[in-house]
Amino acid sequence: MSHIPPFRGAIITGASRGLGAAFARALAADGTRVLLVGRHKPALDIVVEQIRAAGGEAHAFAADIADKHQTHALAAAAEAQVGPVDLLIHNASTLGPLPLRPLVELSCEDLAAVLETNLIGPFRLTKVIAGSMALRGRGTVLHISSDAAVNAYPGWGAYGVSKAAQDHLARSFAADFGETNVRFLSVDPGEMDTRMHDDAMPGLSDADRAALGRPDEVARRILASLREAS
Ligand SMILES: NC(=O)c1ccc[n+]([C@@H]2O[C@H](COP(=O)([O-])OP(=O)(O)OC[C@H]3O[C@@H](n4cnc5c(N)ncnc54)[C@H](OP(=O)(O)O)[C@@H]3O)[C@@H](O)[C@H]2O)c1
């Protein structure tokens, strides 16, 4: 019997590196057609080529998730290249200005920019993708969250506020979509050895870095729990 992937078509934002690239590799290895989204096409193309070399189907779409004018083009590219999307992973994220600093040292524009990428962008994309999931009676929208959504850490305010709001966005969409069989989930991946972690906490010792999660392992674990939950 031929293998039927749990997800046929997936959009993964922030898929040029780190956890997003790991999701794309793991899904494609399982037979899912994946659309990788990020702002820099050359970086996306490297991951796409890796996936294709391993026998998977992947496509790159360069877009800034914070730019509302790119949302519909992204959805159209997904429909054309990976077919009906039954998994949308909101993984792209920004920390805001670096180094991290107290909220009082941020401008309103700094906070708004973090919310545009981490909250409003995912909101817009869900709006254009989840309706057709509901019509087909099948779909998963996964938000990548953080423990900063529930714990307040000095300097992490803008990011933490955006992640807390994103968690509630997922709960609110779930309430609105009711019995449509579209799932909205938030998952905290834990600390991982990625550029974002390095940006937030530069200069870790080798021992501290070695204790961080590996994105490929984290992605496989999250996808396995999604399959179990379904
Ligand atoms: N690393 C950790 O320890 C950790 C812990 C808890 C939660 N998380 C969460 O895990 C997720 C993945 O993080 P990561 O550590 O893998 O980050 P990362 O290595 O910095 O990768 C971030 C990805 O997002 C893309 N991106 C950033 N801004 C974007 C935008 N405006 N539009 C489109 N793409 C954008 C980046 O590509 P471009 O720059 O080319 O656009 C890149 O592909 C995030 O949601 C993060 O909050 C991470």
| CATH number, position 102 | 3.40.50.720
pLDDT in tens, 210-224: 999 999 999 999 999
Q: For residue 140, is it within any domain?
A: yes
Residue 3: inside a domain, yes or no?
no
Residue 230 pLDDT > 90: no
- Average pLDDT value for the chain: 96
Domain residues for the domain of 217 are 9-225
Region 166-170: mean pLDDT is: 98
Nearest CA to ligand 1 atom 47: 93
The answer, as to whether pTM is greater than 0.75, is yes
Total structural domains in the chain? 1
- The DSSP letter of residue 17 is S
Q: Is residue 4 part of a domain?
A: no
* Closest ligand 1 atom to Cα of 18: 16
Neighbour count for residue 162 (Cβ, 10 Å):
28
Asked whether 189 lines ligand 1 (CB < 6 A), one says: yes
Question: Residue 138 half-sphere exposure, CB side, CA atoms within 13 Å?
Answer: 10
57 assigned to some structural domain: yes
User: Could you tell me if residue 1 is inside a domain?
Assistant: no
Task: Collect all residues with Cβ–Cβ distance below 8 Å to 103 and sequence separation of at least 6.
Answer: 111, 157, 158
Give the model confidence (pLDDT) of 89-143 as tens digits. 999 999 999 999 999 999 999 999 999 999 999 999 999 999 999 999 999 999 9
Q: Are 168 and 189 in contact (CB under 8 A)?
A: no
**Is residue 26 in some structural domain?**
yes
pLDDT of residue 2: 58
- 174-200 per-position pLDDT tens digit: 999 999 999 999 999 999 999 999 999
Within a domain: residue 131?
yes
> In this structure, is residue 137 part of a structural domain?
yes
- Ligand 1: does its nearest atom lie under 6 Å from the Cβ of 146? yes
Q: What is the pLDDT of residues 39-97, one digit of tens each?
A: 999 999 999 999 999 999 999 999 999 999 999 999 999 999 999 999 999 999 999 99
- Token pair recorded at residue 8: 């046929």
Whether ligand 1 lies within 6 angstroms of the CB of 29 is answered as no
Helices 71-82 and 121-136, axial angle in degrees (round to 10): 40
- 14-17: Cβ within 8 A, 24+ apart: 14/38, 14/65, 14/91, 14/92, 14/93, 15/44, 15/47, 15/91, 16/40, 16/43, 16/44, 16/46, 16/47, 17/43, 17/47, 17/194, 17/195
Distance CA 162, CA 116 (A): 9
Residue 185 CB neighbours (<10 A):
19
